Amino acid sequence: MGLSILSPLNDFANLIAGYFMEIWDFLIFIGNISAFVVVLVGAILWFTGVNDKKGKGLVLSGILLAIIIQYFVFYPPSFTL
């Protein structure tokens, strides 16, 4: 009897977990794009000589962001119950 009462709650929790997985995938997508843009802008600043120091910093921080995003791609959180 108690198991049938918890079934709607379990379904609701699985629905919320599915939404979290979709949000997670979107955040990974945005992270990949932002890492690419940061490295690209940094490379443009660095190689054109507009601002060498800022360009190097942007390239290194973009690479670090890409590494962190890749870590979360390899080891995502589990959204299962």
In a domain, 79, yes or no: no
Question: Is residue 81, in this structure, part of any structural domain at all?
Answer: no
Contacts of 43 (CB under 8 A, 6+ apart): 55, 59
Tally of domains in the chain: 1
Tell whether 13 is covered by a domain: yes
Residue 19 maps to a domain: yes
The domain in which residue 69 lies consists of: 2-74
Tokens of 23: 């949000």
Determine the pLDDT at residue 1.
Answer: 47
Instruction: Answer whether residue 80 is part of any domain.
Output: no
pTM of the entire structure?
Answer: 0.79
pLDDT tens digits, 21-45: 999 999 999 999 999 999 999 999 9
In a domain, 6, yes or no: yes
Whether 10 is in a domain gets the answer yes
User: CB of 56 within 8 A of CB of 44?
Assistant: no
